[in-house]
Amino acid sequence: MRKKLSILLVAAVLCLLTTACIPTPMGEQPSTLPGDYTMEMIFSSGAGGWRTILLLHPDGTFTGQHSDSDMGDAGYGYPDGTVYLCDFSGRFEALPTTDPNATPLRLVDLTCETAAGRMKLEDGIRYIYSEPIGLYIYEEETVAEEFILYSPDTPVATLSDEMLSWWPGLWQDTPPETLDCYALWSSETGSAFFSSSGYFYY
């Protein structure tokens, strides 16, 4: 009987030791994006009083703000005009790629601080809260999901005319052959953000 108990005890100890050697599965690690971080990216035409700024972090998280000023849209209680505004935050997830210049991203989270359509009067200005312009598909009344992050070395010849219509490089006397800045493009919205280093006026 004692011999049988001893065998069972040894077996139990071996089982514990073996189990202790099995590595515990780690939680999913945040993806790392290429680029210089924290990276400020801008969606703007370079004309008018509107733009969307996005601060992108290496783990894919971001914060941002869209603002559009219309000082001519004034009235009682807001003599200094109207500003459309949206403060937001969210996260991109990097997807596998074999292209060193293009990283596909999926928008997995997006939150706006204030619901679109709300309004307030403050300091003589009317603030109207909007959707996150550049990330929102108005035709479908939803946010975009698919994006591509391009590196500064991306040849311009490989990019669509629609994307390049937002590119600050077009304003130069001799446009470069590569982007020369990071770009975040969504074919779903037709919007392109460029790292602020590409905006010589900013």
pLDDT in tens, 54-94: 999 999 999 999 999 999 899 999 999 999 999 999 999 99
pLDDT of amino acid 198: 52
pLDDT band at 34 (very low <50, low <70, confident <90, very high): confident
Burial of 175 (0-12, 13-18, 19+ CB in 10 A): middle
Across 15-27, average pLDDT? 35
Shortest CA distance to 102 belongs to which of 1, 187, 182, 197?
A: 182
pTM higher than 0.95, yes or no?
no
Beta strands (DSSP E) in 71-124 are: 82-94, 102-112, 119-122
- Taking residues 99-107, report their average pLDDT: 95
Specify whether the CB–CB gap between 142 and 132 falls below 8 A: no
Structure token digits, residue 79? 């003599």
Beta strand pairing call for 61-70 and 102-112:
unpaired
Taking the C-alpha atoms of residue 194 and residue 104, their distance in angstroms, rounded to an integer, is 16
**Tell me, what's the pLDDT at 32?**
73
> With contact defined as beta carbons under 8 Å apart, do 124 and 79 qualify?
yes
Is residue 143 within 8 Å of 132, Cβ to Cβ?
Answer: yes
Query: What are the residues whose beta carbons fall under 8 Å from the beta carbon of 79, sequence distance 6 or more?
Result: 124
Give me the count of residues in the chain.
202
Rounded Cα distance, 180 and 138, in Å: 30
